[in-house]
């Protein structure tokens, strides 16, 4: 019944709307079927980067007279509030919108960002709610940002007279560790890994003093659960900060996923990672559906130069710079150079700027049409919707997670102890997601993707990454490069 009703309402809604997505009715039927059957679906489509998919979900949630939650970005919540309220009311829906909540006579539908939901302790205790979770492709990063704890020097003291003796005791402990940590500092690296004795000391210290503050209580709980921990040094102020983060972020909200009914929406073309992510926690998905977006999908022009150097070759950087200069020569349109290696990114931007001047930008939104933009993968993913589609994307280094990041090194160590394949289970899925999200705009204009990392041909996992770039066509030369 819900499928029939939602289809009728959607048909009436679209009479006055300019939504050019041929699969919108099929999408609406899938959504209403999932909600009606209390199933768990994962739906993948690049359409979720737009606003065209919102009406079928809102209509189904409005018609199903049960309390529900719709998790989506702040921008999409604002879009619904500004542009879709009148159209929904014209369909005959009788509701009051108050603080991003549609209030009906028998139920309510709440719009909320994942950040606000995680910050609300009552939300995570919900049971038997229908929840539509969009942006699931960002779940790992969202959970990391939420659960990470940072303890700064100011957190070791309180500005009350009765805490004067405790403050002095804690500062003495803080200063004694400061000397140890700075003596272990390696040039160019501000992160310090803690040894077993230090972890044991801090675990006991925060357990005994958890009464001191809410922050100390959270740190104590994190240590008791075996979270990853490390220290970051501040060379300017000569102080240090303690960081803690769960190795397995999803375990922190497993009950929330188990106790409610979900429709997961991923803006990836195909999201194999999230399905695997849930399966490790015995959380199963009933059905996975892939929808094409609202644009004609074109093949990415893939170019892999022959005789590529490996990143550990001492001539790698010079080789990359020489190739980038040739690949940019005579090119029109935006050229994007992506690297998560900060030193390589800055070196490339500096050297290219010496030749091309103000055409070269470092993580800055371009204003012209024939510019060269150097950025990290994350910066590009966050800002790509503000920038024209590149004519070509150059990737000097594949986005394999960096072992210099403490959480990565600790996670790898943890997986080794469990005899798990840390590279294929942890590093490779992260690289696939970053690569997929970074190059997806090229499917709109059949733009060129040039990968200069020798591992793409010389490692089995590199060739596996290439196979995941779909649809694509390999080109054998690029003038004046060859």
Question: Which tens digits make up the pLDDT trace of 433-462?
Answer: 999 999 999 999 999 999 999 999 899 999
User: pTM of this prediction?
Assistant: 0.91
Question: Which tens digits make up the pLDDT trace of 54-84?
Answer: 999 999 999 999 999 999 999 999 999 999 9
Bridge partners (DSSP) of residue 392 are 335, 448
More confident position, 104 or 164? 104
State whether the Cα torsion 307-443-141-240 is positive or negative: positive
> Which tokens belong to 78?
């604002």
* In the block, residue with structure tokens 């972890």: 199
Inter-residue contact 115 to 72 (CB < 8 Å): no
Output the pLDDT for position 384: 94
Cβ within 8 Å of residue 336, ≥6 positions away: 373, 375, 380, 390, 392, 393, 394
Quickly state the pLDDT bin for 121 (edges 50, 70, 90). Answer: confident
Output the pLDDT for position 280: 84
Inter-residue contact 275 to 288 (CB < 8 Å): yes
DSSP letter at 475 equals: -
The rounded percent of the chain whose pLDDT value lies above 90 is: 83
Output the pLDDT for position 273: 82
Mean predicted confidence (pLDDT) in 167-192: 92
Quickly state the pLDDT bin for 329 (edges 50, 70, 90). Answer: confident
What is the distance between the alpha carbons of residues 13 and 56, in angstroms, rounded to a whole number? 9
Output the pLDDT for position 390: 96
Mean predicted confidence (pLDDT) in 189-215: 95
Task: Give yes or no for residue 482 having a pLDDT over 70.
Answer: no
Question: Which tens digits make up the pLDDT trace of 347-360?
Answer: 999 999 999 999 99
What is the distance between the alpha carbons of residues 243 and 219, in angstroms, rounded to a whole number? 9
Output the pLDDT for position 352: 96
Inter-residue contact 266 to 42 (CB < 8 Å): yes
Of 96-110, 171-185, 261-275, the poorest mean pLDDT is in: 261-275
Cβ within 8 Å of residue 263, ≥6 positions away: 31, 34, 35, 40, 41, 43, 57, 130, 131, 132, 133
Question: Which tens digits make up the pLDDT trace of 401-427?
Answer: 988 889 999 999 999 999 999 999 889
Output the pLDDT for position 188: 76
* 3-state secondary structure at position 147: helix
Counted residue by residue, the chain has a size of 482
What is the second-level CATH architecture of the domain 300-474?
A: 3-Layer(aba) Sandwich (3.40)
If you write DSSP's letter for every residue of 79-115 in order, what string do you get?
HHHHHTHHHHHHTT---EE-SSEEE-SS-EEEEE-HH
DSSP letter at 189 equals: B
* 3-state secondary structure at position 478: coil
Output the pLDDT for position 380: 97
Quickly state the pLDDT bin for 479 (edges 50, 70, 90). Answer: low
Output the pLDDT for position 283: 87
What is the distance between the alpha carbons of residues 128 and 261, in angstroms, rounded to a whole number? 6
């Amino acid at each position: 019944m819900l499928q029939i009703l939602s289809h009728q309402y959607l048909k009436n809604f679209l009479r006055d709307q300019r939504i050019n997505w041929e699969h919108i009715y099929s999408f609406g039927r899938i959504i209403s079927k999932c909600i009606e059957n209390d199933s768990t679906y994962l739906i993948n489509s690049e359409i979720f980067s737009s606003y065209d998919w919102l009406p079928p979900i809102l209509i189904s949630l409005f018609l199903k007279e049960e309390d529900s939650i719709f998790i989506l970005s702040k921008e999409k919540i604002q879009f619904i509030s500004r542009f879709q309220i009148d159209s929904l009311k014209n369909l005959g829906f009788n509701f009051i919108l108050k603080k991003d909540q549609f209030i009906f006579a028998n139920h309510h539908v709440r719009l909320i960002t994942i950040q606000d939901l995680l910050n609300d302790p009552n939300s995570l205790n919900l049971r038997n709610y229908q929840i539509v979770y969009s942006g699931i492709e960002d779940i790992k990063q969202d959970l990391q940002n939420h659960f990470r704890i940072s303890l700064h020097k100011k957190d070791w003291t309180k500005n009350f007279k009765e805490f004067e003796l405790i403050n002095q005791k804690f500062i003495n402990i803080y200063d004694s560790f400061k000397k140890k940590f700075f003596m272990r500092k390696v040039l160019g690296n501000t992160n310090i890994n803690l040894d077993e004795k230090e972890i044991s000391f801090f675990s006991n210290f925060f357990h005994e003093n958890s009464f001191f503050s809410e922050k100390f209580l959270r740190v104590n709980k994190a240590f008791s659960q075996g979270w990853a921990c490390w220290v970051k040094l501040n060379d300017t102020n000569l102080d240090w900060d303690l960081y803690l983060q769960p190795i397995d972020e999803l375990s922190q909200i497993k009950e929330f996923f188990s106790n409610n009914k979900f429709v997961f929406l991923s803006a990836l073309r195909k999201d194999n990672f999230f399905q695997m992510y849930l399966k490790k926690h015995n959380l199963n998905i009933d059905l996975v559906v892939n929808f094409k977006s609202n644009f004609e999908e074109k093949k990415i022009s893939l170019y892999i130069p022959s005789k590529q150097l490996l990143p550990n070759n001492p001539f790698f950087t010079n080789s990359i710079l020489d190739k980038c200069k040739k690949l940019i020569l005579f090119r029109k349109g935006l050229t994007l150079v992506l690297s998560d290696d900060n030193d390589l990114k800055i070196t490339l931007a500096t050297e290219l700027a010496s030749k091309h001047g103000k055409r070269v930008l470092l993580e800055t939104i371009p204003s012209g049409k024939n510019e060269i933009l150097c950025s990290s993968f994350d910066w590009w993913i966050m800002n790509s919707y503000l920038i024209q589609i590149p004519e070509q994307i150059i990737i000097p280094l594949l986005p394999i997670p960096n072992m210099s990041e403490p959480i990565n090194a600790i996670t790898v160590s943890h997986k080794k102890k469990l005899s798990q394949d840390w590279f294929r289970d942890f590093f490779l899925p992260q690289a696939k997601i970053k690569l997929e999200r970074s190059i997806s705009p090229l499917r709109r204009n059949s733009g060129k993707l040039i990968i200069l990392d020798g591992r793409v041909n010389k490692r089995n996992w590199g060739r596996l990454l290439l196979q995941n770039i779909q649809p694509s066509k390999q080109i054998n030369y690029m003038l004046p490069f060859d």
